[in-house]
Amino acid sequence: MQYLDDKYPQHPLLPSDIHKRAINFQATHIVSSSIHPLQNISFLNYIGEKVGPDEKLPWVQGVLRKGFTGDV
C-alpha cells in the first residue's frame, strides 16, 4: 500500500493525517504478522495435530477474532 501511495500520489490510498496513517499501518501489521500465517495450510495441519481436528477451527477462529479486535 505504501509503495502504491508513494508511486501514485495523485490517487492516495492512505490518509494524509499521520495519526490515521499510523492506525492503518498498525492494522496491516496485525494482518500480516498475527492473522495471515493462519492461512498457511501446513500451519493449520500442524495446529490440527496439536489440538485435534475438532478443536482446530475454533482455535483458529479465536486467534483471528483476537487479531481483528486488536486483542493480541
**Distance between CA atoms of 4 and 12, rounded to whole angstroms?**
8
pTM: 0.52
Q: Is 13 exposed, middle or buried (0-12, 13-18, 19+ CB in 10 A)?
A: exposed
pLDDT digits (tens, 9 = 90+) for 25-62: 988 887 777 776 666 788 888 888 988 888 888 888 88
Cα distances (Å, whole numbers) of residue 61 to 1, 22, 28, 65 = 26, 26, 19, 6
- Which DSSP category does 33 fall into? I
Confidence of residue 15 (pLDDT cuts 50, 70, 90): very high
Domain limits, the chain: 2-69
In this prediction, residue 10 carries a pLDDT of 94
Residue 11 is placed in which grid cell?
A: 490517487
